[in-house]
Structure 1
Amino acid sequence: MFSFFKKKKPADAPAAAPAAPLPSPSPDITAPRPGGSLIGSALVTPIEIPVPGAAPAVREHWVSKLRSGLNKTGASISGVFTGTQIDEALYEDLESALLMADSGTGATAYLLDEVRRRVKDSGVTHPVAVKNILTDALTQLLKPLEQALVIGEFKPTVIMVAGVNGAGKTTSIGKLTRHLANEGASVLLAAADTFRAAAREQLEVWADRNRVEIVSQEGGDPAAVSFDAVSAGKARGKDVVLVDTAGRLPTQLHLMEELRKIKRVVSKADSTAPHEIILVIDGNTGQNALSQVKAFDDILQLTGLIVTKLDGTAKGGVLAAIALWARERAKASPGLKPVPVYFIGVGEKLEDLETFNAREFSQALLA
């Protein structure tokens, strides 16, 4: 399996200030862990980190699943290239197919212009060659989304994870935790999704599966849970603190404001945090996913994305629309960090979340 993040040595830090006290009272700071040892008010369990494997066959298996998952999207686009000549009808069909795949009007126009220009410059005459040109043009558009998640520059690296209900947010946190553990990172989970019933229990299941610690409070305030988790992560020397925030729609302004509060409170526990703010979006929702990205970015200034449920959808082209938005955002606000797609998902198993690779995705989409 390919390594999905870059490790950095922590920068020289100033003399440590006295640790901020945890809010009081702070009941149930961690869920009980079999075999753990009590330290203060927190129950700590030793974690056995598995040795990561990097066999190319594992990645090839993943690419095969990606290709299969994107079949519904790819079939509608690839069907355009079954003719015998390159003519205006081909371009019109390609435009319709890209729009049906939810690439959006902007990304569709960009790709069509690129394909037309490259066809003219290269002098190709067969539609199959146009398909190869489209694959290269799509790869070029998506390439800026292909960035590594950096862990280790800060300790702990605090990652806030947001997303609407049903996008696969909590499940993605569980899968991401497994990736981190496989790479040798120690992880602490924060059950700050106190808005949805049973969300804490769901995250505790993932903590058990991955043998990592969790900070939670039954019925607690999400910001207080987040503060506790970051403080505990610093005290215990964790590499990563993953904060599961409540799912909400961008139109629920009072709940979106709560996200701002969590971000502010996290920065009180660690003045450099949060270091990553990742949005989980459902690939099935097409252009609505792009609307979510824009809305959450306005509130939180996103640093990365996880795109789930790409298997079985006919709307995989939405990544092209996201790529064009990211390009325009970078031009409009040069001071902001880029918003890459760190991971994409094509299933429910732990191994069904993997790093995003622009060429792999383009080739799988247009296979």
Structure 2
Amino acid sequence: MNNKFDNNTSEKNQPIWENLKKLKKQLLTAFSDNKFDNETLIELEDVLIMADTGPKTAKEIISNLSEQVSEDSYENSKSARLHLANIINQRLNKLCPNEPISIKKNQLTVFLLVGVNGSGKTTTIGKLAHHFKNNGSKVALAACDTFRAAAKDQLNIWGEENGVTVFSSECSDPSSVAFEAVTNSIEQNIDILLVDTAGRLPSKKNLIEELKKLNRVLTKALSESPLYKWIILDSNTGQNALNQISQFREALDINGLILTKFDGINKAGFLLTLSDLDNLPVMFVGTGESIEDLSVFDAKKVGNNILGIAD
């Protein structure tokens, strides 16, 4: 798996860093007079809001910064910048998983992937299959998107490219397809089953009820085996993603997040707002169109690029 968090990226993978550089430049400009005062705080808050951090989060960050910077150091912009770097890094670190993914040989682990239409869910499943297989796991896919006509074909293509089994059925009930996939996976000693679901708006109550049923069936079928429920989000959704997460969490106890199109993110401040959510770590980010363009989220690298602090 390529590490697209390396700053020495190719041209097609530069947008995330270009956007972070823009945010970094704006923040550093606020410190350029080598002094730190109330006007600097106001300017910093404006910069964060314009970067799609969100007014509430931006205010909390600036309030925290104001408390940490003592009156004696108000004339020292370098000291204030280091305080801000620490605040931002602390927020980004909250996006990192507290525990590693639990995967054991000959014990099935299931990943239920959900999200709205167009978030890149099926493509991400193909990348996840590549990642887990390369790490020595026996992987299979479950085609539980019975709503979109081309979904099964698309998943079969990813299955062929990865050399993994795709469990599908002519049945139109996603829960039945999932149950059969789990049964077959256990019989075939599959380590990881990635479950593709139909893209849906959380406002569509019938589709959310279908998702709840799918969750119940998987939970019952797996007994004590691990079941991860991850939401897939387009990085450029920005603040609107918070509503999506909240509504999906009414149906599922979402415990992980994958950000797609991270190589083209133009709302870097959105990451700071995500850190306000409880127990929702960023597991991976999609950094391109290739099957290998999936990276573990690197909070330190992102934080350092925002504030221009060396590793």
Same fold (TM over 0.5): yes
1:144-203 C-alpha deviation (Å, 9 max, x unpaired): 221132222981001100000111111111111111011101111001011123111111
Letter in 2 for 1:360: K
Distance 1:98 1:262, change over 3 A: same
Q: 1:63 to 1:343 in 2, by over 3 A?
A: farther
The more displaced of 263-272 and 185-194 is: 263-272
Matched, 1:92 2:42: yes
Q: 1:361 aligns with which of 293, 302, 305?
A: 302
Matches within 5 A, 1:40-59: 59=3
Instruction: Note if 1:229 corresponds to 2:181.
Output: yes
Worse overlay, 300-309 or 153-162: 153-162
Distance 1:67 1:132 in 2: 26
Instruction: Specify the alignment match of 1:250 in structure 2.
Output: 202
1:107 corresponds to which of 54, 57, 67: 57
The gaps in structure 1 that reach 5 residues or longer are 2-57, 327-337
SS at match of 2:110: strand
RMSD: 2.3
Structure 1 residues 76 and 63: alpha-carbon distance in aligned structure 2, compared to 1, 3 A threshold: closer
Aligned to 1:169: 121
Task: For residue 92 of structure 1, report the CA deviation from its aligned partner.
Answer: 1.5
> Structure 1, residues 42-88: CA drift from partner, whole Å, max 9, x if none?
xxxxxxxxxxxxxxxx5476454477414225413532322213232
Matched, 1:348 2:289: yes
Residue 298 of structure 1: which of 245, 250, 259 is its match? 250
Is residue 229 of structure 2 the alignment partner of residue 282 of structure 1? no
For structure 2, the residue ranges without an aligned partner over 5 or more in a row are none
Query: Does the 8 Å contact 2:110/2:193 carry over to 1?
Result: yes
Distance 1:302 1:60, change over 3 A: closer
Note if 1:69 corresponds to 2:52.
no
Out of 158-167 and 129-138, give the one that drifted further: 129-138
Q: Determine helix, strand or coil for the equivalent of 1:305.
A: strand
Distance 1:235 1:153 in 2: 14
C-alpha distance in 2 between matches for 1:294 and 1:283: 16
Q: Distance in 1 between matches of 2:115 and 2:64?
A: 33
TM-score, L = length of structure 1? 0.75
Identity among equivalent pairs (%): 37
Residues in 2 aligned to 1:63 and 1:215: alpha-carbon distance in whole angstroms: 39
- Given that 1:149 and 1:342 are in contact with CA atoms closer than 8 Å, whether structure 2 keeps it comes out as no
User: Partner amino acid for 2:249?
Assistant: D
C-alpha spacing 1:255/1:249, structure 2 compared with 1 (3 Å): same
Residue 365 of structure 1 and its aligned partner are, at CA, apart by 3.4
Distance 1:150 1:125 in 2: 49
Figure out how many residues of one structure are paired with residues of the other and give that number.
300
Whole-angstrom CA distance in 1 between matches of 2:239 and 2:260? 14
